[in-house]
Structure 1
Amino acid sequence: MILRNVRPTDLEQLMIIEQEGFSPEEAATKEAMTERIQFIGDTFLVAEQDNIILGYINGPIIHKPYITDDLFEKIQKNPQSGGYQSILGLAVSKSARNQGVAKVLLHKMDELVQKNEREGITLTCKKELVPFYEKCGFRNHGVSDSAHGGVTWYNMVKLREA
């Protein structure tokens, strides 16, 4: 398995994985995914094996510790340093689940946080995924203000190690 930055030619495979991992209300649109590829390719990573994408992780740098719903609609290019690395999408194809792909992607994003001196990583997840993220070093900061997709989300934050 190799990790690399996203390419525009990955879009079709990414959309299949996105739709496998999220409900229609939660899933990013093709337009939103295209915008993420275009604007935040430096924090949009894919795990690939034999030219097949196994999973991906992406999100813009934000200046607040929690994700807000507007991020799912419009994003901007990342600043060089500082801020929080948000995770808007972390998904693994059905055929590659339970093989550690998500943990590898999170670890690589953590390396980018250290390298670029970000405050930490912030994401939202459903209740059933809270234990997974806690095992990966995140702290549960409670129910999020986000109502994205009509779901109850939990704020999960992992601060950068000093």
Structure 2
Amino acid sequence: MTSPVLRLATPNDTDRCYDIEAAAYEGDEGATREKIATRIVQYPEGFLVMTLNDGIIGFINGGCAHEVVMSDEAFKELIGHDPAAPNVVIMSVVIDPAHQGNGYASKLMQAFVEHMKTLGKQTIHLMCKERHVLLYERMGYRYVKPSDSDHGGMAWHEMVMVL
């Protein structure tokens, strides 16, 4: 079986990444095409895509901040993002539903963590639904608190990993 390959996103990946985001997230919790395009252009170092047989099957992206405020909706458009900041905030971790259940999300997350270490980052922050808290704890994240964010009308939980 072919192994997935990871690489940095390019603007040409925008439409495929948006299609995956729209298919995998519930309601309006997924990012818009414009937000995905902005994230790729403004911080390609923080946007990894996973390909299988040259087709994108998933991606992870984030931005960097000096002070992390997980409920800051404007940050999802990279307002306040500073590529030199030490703290990474993950915005999306997503695998095409047709490829879920194969361990790809864990591989994507592990590669992202290693990539952020090579960039000298100090922490990685994320928000997840309650059903994913234990998964992220197994990956090395520490539970912080229930989030003030009601993004997409959902309840979220904040997690952090010290690198």
TM-score (normalizing by structure 2): 0.90
Deviation of the 1:76 alpha carbon: 5.8
Q: Aligned pair in 2 of structure 1 residues 158, 66: CA closer, same or farther (>3 Å)?
A: farther
Residue 133 of structure 2 aligns to a residue in which SS? helix
- For the residue of structure 1 that corresponds to 2:158, the secondary structure is strand
Q: What are the equivalent positions in structure 2 for 1:5-154 lying under 5 Å apart?
A: 5-67=8-70, 68-75=72-79, 78-80=82-84, 82-154=85-157
Tell me how far apart the structure 2 counterparts of residues 77 and 63 of structure 1 sit (CA, whole Å): 9
Contact 1:130–1:154 under 8 Å retained in 2: yes
2:49 aligned partner, one-letter code: V
% identical aligned pairs: 30
The letter for the 1-side match of 2:48 is L
Cα distance in 1, alignment partners of residues 79 and 68 from structure 2: 16
Deviations 1:70-96 (A, max 9, x none): 21244366423x421110010000111
CA contact (8 A) 1:66 1:122 kept: no
**C-alpha distance 159-66 of structure 1, shift in aligned 2 (>3 A):** farther
Contact 1:66–1:155 (Cα < 8 Å) also in 2: no
What letter matches 1:92 in structure 2?
I
Between 148-157 and 108-117, the greater mean CA deviation after superposition: 108-117
Give the whole-Å Cα distance in 2 for the aligned partners of 1:76 and 1:36: 12
The whole-number CA distance in structure 1 between the counterparts of 2:76 and 2:117 is: 25
What amino acid is aligned across from residue 62 of structure 1 in structure 2?
Answer: A
**Equivalence for 1:157:** 160
Q: Partners of 1:40 and 1:75 in 2: how far apart?
A: 12
Partners in 2 of 1:30 and 1:75 — Cα distance? Answer: 16
Contact 1:26 1:149 in 2 (8 A): yes
> Gaps spanning 5+ residues in structure 1: where?
none
TM-score under structure 1 normalisation? 0.91
8 Å CA contact 1:141–1:156 kept in 2: the answer is yes
RMSD: 1.5
Q: Which amino acid aligns with 1:33?
A: I
Greater alpha carbon shift after TM alignment, 63-72 vs 129-138: 63-72
